[in-house]
Amino acid sequence: MTMVGESHARVILHLDMNSFFASVEQAHDPSLKGIAMAVAGNPKERRGILVTCSYEARAFGIYTTMTVGEAKRLCPELVIVPPDFEKYRTASTAVFDLLRSYTELVEPVSIDEAYIDITSIGGLTHAIEIATEMQQRILRELDLPCSIGIAPNKFLAKTASDMKKPMGITILRKREVESILWPLPIIDMHGVGKSTEKKMHTLDIYTIGDLAQKDETIIKTALGKHGLRLRNRANGIDHRLVDPEAADERKSVGSSTTLPIDETDYEGCLKVFKWLSAKVADRLDKRQLAGTVVMIQIRTADWRNQTRSRTVHNPLYEEQDIYKEAIDLFKRHWDGEPVRLLGITVSNVVPMNELNEQLSIYNFEKYAKEEAVNDLLSQIEQRFGPGTVKRGNG
């Protein structure tokens, strides 16, 4: 079982937990096994959003992000349970700890997936054996199913883990990219979302193969560095290493600067923010990250520190978007005092290739809080009449 020209290549696994939140609930309550069930932000509300659902529920056409009302119409007997994020974190930690019993080269990339570099502990010769043992131990010891992709790089490993669910183990060789990946529609490629798909279509790129064979100059002009990275991956090229410390680095990316003079000019401050936005965007680009929280730091001439932040729905990574949010925060909160230091930080960051995938645990927790506020507002309006309370834009 040798990959042509790749006998000395890295061997990377991508482990993806199957219907993770639902599986954890089933492990805790076996009566939920084998039935159509889902986890929802607010099970009692028809507008509550499904966080995840069992494979039995998926057979009815139910999917993550569907509302409870929509799901119930498709499957009236659907059992819905509220999310228990502490339970999911505990299960996630247990999975990653088990993986680390094989090698330290484990890189968690979300609560329910990780890359593992097994090159030095068996490589390709024992890849299926190692993956099977990991999968069976997670099932036996934690009662949780997972799928594993085996490949010479991260992109192909992640693509492979999606090919057979639940409980699949799939090898994807670089030489198979042309026959297996190239015929697929471009939206099926990790890292390509709806907006990128639209841009690709304007370039007559409809399949992964179209992207792989498109002229580099055209891609770079239209889509920049990110486009070139996607083109490389469409050709099976991805040099990213498995980095056990990457998860810690992903919490935030920022930059600040002490000004040469105590700045009192608004336009002067904007120029600094423009420069900082470019630096932060460049760092995000190098790490291939995007974040949903923008924070600015203002230190005045008398050494008073102020931080102001805003959460956005769509993760930011481009200079102009970061700049727009930063200056809006500055405009709202700067009181005209002389400024000694300015800074921008983007946090709650996720890898770029996950932007269009399942919502993160943090988004669901935020959504659940949002629903609680909506419920309270509804109760107040029912009691005192519509329009009694208006939401602020803070």
**Among residues 138, 157, 174, which one ends one of the domains?**
174
Contact 229, 353 (CB under 8 A): no
What is the reported pTM?
A: 0.69
Question: What is the spatial distance between Cα 104 and Cα 102, in angstroms, rounded to a whole number?
Answer: 7
What per-residue confidence (pLDDT) applies to 49? 85
Q: Which position has the token pair 């946090």?
A: 347
What confidence tier does 380 reach under pLDDT thresholds 50, 70, 90? low
In the residue annotation, 318 being an active-site residue is answered as no
Is residue 86 exposed (0-12), middle (13-18) or buried (19+ Cβ within 10 Å)?
exposed
Question: What is the spatial distance between Cα 173 and Cα 168, in angstroms, rounded to a whole number?
Answer: 16
Which structural domain, as residue segments, surrounds residue 207? Answer: 182-234
What confidence tier does 364 reach under pLDDT thresholds 50, 70, 90? low
Q: Evaluate whether residue 295 is within a structural domain.
A: yes
Q: In terms of Cα–Cα distance, which of 104, 101, 105, 81 is closest to 142? A: 101
Q: Are residues 224 and 327 in the same domain?
A: no
Q: Evaluate whether residue 381 is within a structural domain.
A: no
Neighbours of 291 (CB within 10 A): 25
What per-residue confidence (pLDDT) applies to 4? 35
Question: What is the spatial distance between Cα 330 and Cα 268, in angstroms, rounded to a whole number?
Answer: 12
- Asked if the model's pLDDT at residue 390 lies above 50, the reply is no
Q: Are residues 56 and 117 in the same domain?
A: yes
The CATH number of the domain where 266 resides is what? 3.30.1490.100
Highest mean pLDDT among 113-127, 238-252, 362-376: 113-127
Catalytic residue chosen out of the listed positions 107, 113, 319, 325: 113
What per-residue confidence (pLDDT) applies to 352? 74
What confidence tier does 296 reach under pLDDT thresholds 50, 70, 90? very high
What per-residue confidence (pLDDT) applies to 141? 97
Question: What is the spatial distance between Cα 111 and Cα 17, in angstroms, rounded to a whole number?
Answer: 9
Q: Are residues 68 and 104 in the same domain?
A: yes
What per-residue confidence (pLDDT) applies to 93? 93
What per-residue confidence (pLDDT) applies to 111? 86
Q: Structural domain tally of the chain? A: 3
Residues of each annotated binding site for Mg(2+): 16, 112
Q: Evaluate whether residue 274 is within a structural domain.
A: yes
Residues of each annotated binding site: 16, 112
Residues 6+ apart with CB under 8 A from 301: 262, 337, 338, 339, 340
Supply the mean pLDDT for the chain: 87
